Every structure is written in structure tokens, then in C-alpha cells.
Chains A and B, each alone.
Chain A
């Protein structure tokens, strides 16, 4: 009887324990995630750290919330926050922690929200998780020609070289052609925002307190316009340049692709380790480049990308999520995790961890640099830097080439056809061009025209978009799906057409969107096309035209389009999911 009582008691205890356990499980399942929106260069690192953090006990995590990291470029994150991060389909989950590359963006967001009558959403300060200075990457022989490493080099020196009609010949290297600068798009990229602000500082001779009045000075604008005029093309991320540089290095043409690119120190380390995009794919064996890059720390001063953890003052950030975010912020600053940060080429944000390898001369960088850090301008000044860049940046001359083959009429998954989505994305993207950019529209399909050339048809000439924006929009809106896909003929003709009318004062480019593969029996010569594109783009070509390609939908051959784009030192974009076409178009147009 006594045993029975004991068993019954045990049964009650077990039942209660079971009830408690299931309650805990349900509570865990009901826990919201601490969403982190991270700039791309550190998303792999943060994802690994989040996985480690999520394995900790709830005590150490400060609750049951787990951390989930998604990629968002700094500029795109800033744009989403200005709007209150309302479009989660487009922008991803609403973040609790926003970690752009630099604190510069926090002020920009709050300033733009204030202008729209919205309260600040980004706290005044974020805890810096790691740091890396903005540098100017140059191939070692080019830096040496400028006096590196014994002579300090700055923006003024590069401007002087870019304005010299002799180009690199003035430094004893005519074989390198003119000085060519690579920069990213200011609306998306931290390195572009930092580099352009640093340009303004260099123009004023200041190291802090850049003012709105400084930006209006004609001499300062002239300095900035001159620097921009040496840009080969812009890019959505610095990885476009680094990947192209790396490919050119393999072909022995690294010194004629581009002379200098504004990138973070960490990217130079990645490049010199043979991993230009900083992401190691399974099975990838890094191979060091033949010509390494070195970091120029501009003598006028530079910025640090401080990678802040901004725990947002947003309505969706509850007290529990805030507490979880703080625990994660503390976790990533622990010395063990900061050593992991250092391994990836960033400088630790915790002073307990010394800066050391891989931040060494062997990797082209110098831990003792920079000598001067520039002051962060007021938010209103940063906003004006961005707005003014849209006017001062190098002009574009772009032929938009759209596939209107029959397959574009297929359903994109939500009732719209693929062509419907592409048309809307293209119309929206036109807004990114400035009024004096030259933009034309060409469509291609079998028998697009009743007379030769029959494979494509120009619907709008390459002309100032300011005067034909409505025409372009109307022509795009009226497109309808038709026949086959004469891809190679159209690509070659478009590229050569623009090349024959090259405008040296502008970025000359073709943007080609296709959803299929070449099915033209009259021209199926891919190798011939690639050879033609490459021969027009290598060496000292004074008429570089870039062919940017968009692989749209599942049937498009990304591999073929990548070869075509890379042959012209441009990039291919993947829109295999038709719903992403709007974001992809934005990324493509950010090259201009």
C-alpha cells in the first residue's frame, strides 16, 4: 500500500514535470526572434555568432529569444527605416538590431525621418562590434609608382593623376593607360558614402566640422566633380570591383581594369588571401592574386566603419526583445568572439583583444594606420552629400535592352506575367537616373522588326532621359511577349553600337534583361561573342562599354550571362525568382 502511494506520488510529480516541460517548450516556440539586419560583408560572421549564441542556455541569453540574421546593405537598410520598414516582403523582417557598416547611416535615417515629420528610430549611439578603416585599394606596383610606402598618398594626389592627360605615363608607366577610379553607389554603400565625404574634406583641407556651406563652395564641387569624372562605373557593392579585379588578375590585365577602388581594409585582406568576396564557398580553394592590392590610408584622413549595433527605437521592439538584443551585443563583444572577428580581417571592437594577424603588411595593410580619423559631419551635411552626389556623379549613357520573347508571357507566380513584373521594375528604375543621363530602349525577339536588323528594335534612342522619361515609360508599359530569343546577336550589336558612339565623359553601358537562352539558329556562337566582348574591353581600350546582364526567371542561363558580363568587366545579376526583379533592377542601375 505504501509502495502504491509512493508510485502515485511519483506519477503526480512526473505528470507535473511533463506539464511544466510542455509549457516551457510552448513558451520557446512562442518566442519572437531578435531579428538582425546586417550589412553584407559581415553577415556570415554574425550568422555564425548567432548560431553559437542560440545554443546558450536561456539564462545566458537573457530569455528565450533567439537571434536571426538577414543581409541588408547599409544604404538599403537606411532607406527601409526612413519608411518605417513597412514592406517586409521587399526588405525582410523588421529588425530589432540594425547593424550597418557605419554609424554614419544612423544620422542619415533620423535626419530624413525628421524631414518627413517622423520621430527618430535609430538611437544616437550604437555599440561598436568591430571596426575597419576605409582605404583606397591599389595594385602594389601602382602604389609604388606613387611613392608608397614611404610617401603618404591622398585624394589630392589621385585627383592630380586623374586630371593628367598623360595618365600613368606621367609616372613612367604608359602601359597602364589613364588613371581609373572605382566607386560604389552612395545610396547603397558605406564605402561610397565615407569616400565621398572624405573627398569633400580633402577639398576643404578640414578634418572635422564639414558644413553645408562647404558643400556649396564652387571649388569644392569642382574638386568632387573631377574625382567622379575618373570613375569607370559605380557599383552596388565593392565586391563587383574586387571580383572583376581578381578575374583580370588571372588574365594579366589587373592594371588596366581599374587603378584604385575605395574599399574597407578588410576587403583588401580578403582579396590578397585569394577570396575577393570574403565568402568561402564549400570546396573553394583560395588562390592568392599575382598582383596583390595594398591599402592607401589617405593622408587627408579617413573614416572607420564602426559596425554599430543599433537596437532600434521602433514600435515592434519590445522590452524582452531589447533585453535579448543587449545580451547578443554583449556576447559578440566577448574576447573569444572578438578573436573570431579579427580572424576575418576586421579590427576588434573590444580593446581587450589586440590587433594582429591578419592585419599585417603581408596582407597589404598596416595596423598602425590611419593617422587621422575624420570627424563625422552633422546628419544634415551627410544627407546633402548623398543628394549632391546624385548631381555631381559621372553621367551615364545606357541602352536598356529587354527580352520580349514568348516566354516572358509566362505566369510569374502571382497572376502577373514575368513581363508585367519586369516592365514595372524597369519603369521604377528609370527614376534613379538623373535628368541629363542618356537612356535608350531596345527590345529583342525573333522578327522584332519587319526590316533588318530583324532581331531587335529600338523603341527610344539613347538620349537625355529628362526629355523622354514619359516616352520610355509608355513604351515599356506597352511591351508584349512575342517570339524567340536571339540573345547573342542582340548583345553583340548593342555592345558594338554603344562602343562605336562612345562618350568619354560618361559611363557607357548596356543593361540586358533576358528570361531565356539563345535560340537563334542563325547565330549560336557564344565563344565568338565572348571573344568580341573581351577584345573590346581589355588592355588600354579607350572606349570601355560595360554589359550588365540580368538573368530573369528559372530558364535564363546565369552562367552564360555571367560570362558575357564579365568579359566586359561588368556584372551579371540573378533574378531567377521573378519577384526579386525590382530589387535587382535597383542594384543594376546603381552602377550608374
Chain B
């Protein structure tokens, strides 16, 4: 008798469970495909997710962030998941809080890790080390950039001027975290305060010199590899992205990848909207890892806090752009 009752309970539970699942599934279908907004640096991972059930929009993280900061309370964020490198969601939340607006972003979790890195053509790397009188440092790269001509930094005259590819820190994650790493390298500390930097003449001069060497528009690693050092001598970006391209590149042996001190770890952060969050489609983390991002990161320095990054972004917007 007890066995029969137990069996009945199990059967009913299964039916109820199935109905709940079905109802949930139906509700999900009614809501249409999962809308995944991805920052440029994660575009390849996201495109692999593009199916009938997932629509992918690629947009620079800074563009999404600025849109979210200005969004009316309760308005649709336009995504069910927002994937970007670094603490963009926290920057959005802090900016909205400062403007006394309701949050529009919900929980954020890290689904992959990589590091800030620098890719440099080997012959340029040799010249820079000569100019640096030792290992490469951010300060030394910036100094060479400020001097302009390669002939003034141990390079050959026909190389022209030093060109450092750094994406726009106002719009692109790679640019912002690259700038943060370079700034920490210059100041010698990851705990820099952007407000102080605006009054630091040495830093301002150094930054202006670095900015002068950035091609406009700043090229990505692919055009640098296909067109050679005429496009850029040095590329500042994320190790995952650089190594994913280099893995199959014909000129991989002409490029070296360097992690300059301090070595910042950057996460691929998936953020859900504050309202009506949806289950994340299966396979997203795998797609991110397949694009070269690591499951976990060995001990490295964490990025400066979101407030410092937002300040650095503003500094670039005000003084350089």
C-alpha cells in the first residue's frame, strides 16, 4: 500500500514537474529568441551562439554602457544577456546611482578570464628593448611613442613613426583595460586615482605622447597581421583575442606576445537585465572558452575598481579624444 502511494506521489510529481517545465518552456518560446548583446572583443564567441533561439548583437561595450546609463526607468534594455570584458555593468550601475536612477542591470557573473597583453613585431620589440635598456615597460613604450620617429628609439628610419594600436578607451573594452594597464605601469600602482592624474603633468605629457602614436581608427590584430607593421608596430589588447588569431596566423612567428607589469586579469562578464531575467542559453561559457578565454585565471592583479576605470574613461574623453 505504502509502495503504491509512493508510486502515485512520484507519478504526480513527475506530471506536475513536466507541466511546470512545459509551461516555463512555452513562456520562453513566447518571449522569442534570447537576445545576447556582445562587446566587440567577444564577437567571435557570440557569433558561435547565433541560432534561431539566440539573436546576437555586437556593439562596443562603451556604446551599450552609455545607452544603459541614459535609459528611462523600466525601459527595455534591449538584451537578455550582455557580455563584455571588464566591469562595465558596475560602471553603468554607479553612473545611474549617481544620477538617482533605478538600476537597469541585474546580476553579473564571470564566465571566462584573460589578461591584458601587448603584441609587438619581433624586430620592433628588439629595438624597443634597446631603447628601454632592458625589458619592455609601459613607461618605455609610451616614451618611444612620444619621441615619434623610430630612428629616435633604436629602430630603422624606414619604419617611419612608432605606431601603437590601442582601441578607443571610451567605446572599447580592450582600449579601456589597456589604458588602465598602461596607466598603472606608468604610476607604478594599480591604485591610481584618476582625479589626481588630471593634475599630474608628467602623466599628462606621457599620455599625450602615447595618444599621438595611436592610428585613427586604431586597427585590430587581424589587419595588423594581414597588412604588416605599416599599420601598427605594437597592439595593445587581450591575450585571448591575440592568441586566438595568432594560432592560425601565417606570420605568428613574427609577433611576440608580452604581458607587461602589472599583469591585469580581465573577466568576460555576463550581465542580465534587472527586470525579467531569463535562463542563459547552454553553451555560452563553452563558446567563450573556445574563443581563448580561460575558465579560471592564475594569480594576477585585478583591474582597478570600476570607479577608477570610469574616471580614466572620462579623462580620455576630456583630454585626448
Contact = CB atoms under 8 A, between A and B. Distances in A.
Interface of A: 128, 131, 133, 152, 207-209, 301, 304, 306, 326, 347-355, 368-373, 375-376
Contacts of A133: 227
Interface in B182-228: 215-217, 222-223, 225-228
A351 B215 contact: no
Contacts of B249: 351-352
Interface in B30-57: 47
Interface in B143-177: 158-161
Given A371-B229, A375-B215, 20 more contacts: A128-B226, A133-B227, A152-B158, A208-B216, A209-B216, A347-B226, A349-B222, A351-B225, A351-B245, A351-B248, A351-B249, A352-B250, A354-B251, A369-B230, A370-B230, A371-B158, A371-B160, A373-B215, A373-B231, A376-B216
Contacts of B230: 301, 369-373
Contacts of B216: 208-209, 375-376
B251 A351 contact: yes
Interface string B244-273: 010011110000000000000000000000
B160 A301 contact: yes
Most chain A CB atoms below 10 A, which of B159, B216, B228, B249: B228
A351 B226 contact: yes
17 contacts: A128-B222, A131-B226, A152-B158, A301-B160, A306-B223, A349-B222, A351-B225, A351-B248, A351-B249, A351-B251, A352-B248, A352-B249, A354-B250, A355-B226, A369-B230, A371-B230, A375-B217
Interface in B53-96: none
A304 B228 CA distance: 11
A428 B120 CA distance: 54
A300 B252 CA distance: 28
Contacts of B161: 207, 372
Nearest to B161: A207
Contacts of A376: 216-217
Contacts of A347: 226-227
Contact of A353 (B158, B222, B223, B250): B250
A559 B160 CA distance: 50
A372 B250 contact: no
A376 B227 CA distance: 15
A206 to B, nearest CB: 10
Contacts of B251: 351, 354
A85 to B, nearest CB: 24
Contacts of A371: 158-160, 229-230
Contacts of B227: 131, 133, 304, 347, 373
A351 B222 contact: yes
Contact of B226 (A207, A326, A348, A375): A348
Query: Residue among B47, B223, B227, B245 with the most chain A CB within 10 A?
Result: B227
Contacts of B215: 208, 373, 375
Contacts of A373: 215, 227, 230-231
Given A351-B249, A373-B231, A375-B216, A207 B160 contact: yes
A351 B160 contact: no
B142 to A, nearest CB: 17
A348 B250 CA distance: 11
A375 B164 CA distance: 13
A301 B158 CA distance: 11
A152 to B, nearest CB: 7
A8 to B, nearest CB: 36
B171 to A, nearest CB: 10
B228 A349 contact: no
A353 B252 CA distance: 11
A369 to B, nearest CB: 8
A352 B249 CA distance: 4
Contacts of B160: 207, 301, 371-372
A348 B226 CA distance: 7
Nearest to A375: B216
A368 B156 CA distance: 14
B130 to A, nearest CB: 20
A350 B226 contact: yes
A429 to B, nearest CB: 37
Contacts of B223: 128, 131, 304, 306
A133 B231 CA distance: 11
Contacts of A306: 223
With a 10 A CB-CB cut-off, give which of B217, B225, B230, B250 has the most chain A CB atoms.
Answer: B230
A368 B121 CA distance: 13
7 residue pairs, one from A and one from B, having the closest CB atoms: A354-B250, A351-B225, A372-B160, A352-B248, A351-B249, A373-B230, A375-B216
A348 B225 CA distance: 10
Interface in B275-311: none
A368 B228 contact: yes
A298 B20 CA distance: 70
Contacts of B226: 128, 131, 347-351, 355
B58 to A, nearest CB: 10
A439 to B, nearest CB: 41
B180 to A, nearest CB: 24
Nearest to B245: A351
A526 B155 CA distance: 62
A217 to B, nearest CB: 20
A58 B159 CA distance: 48
Given A370-B230, A373-B215, A373-B230, A351 B250 contact: yes
A514 to B, nearest CB: 47
Contacts of A372: 160-161, 230
Contacts of A209: 216
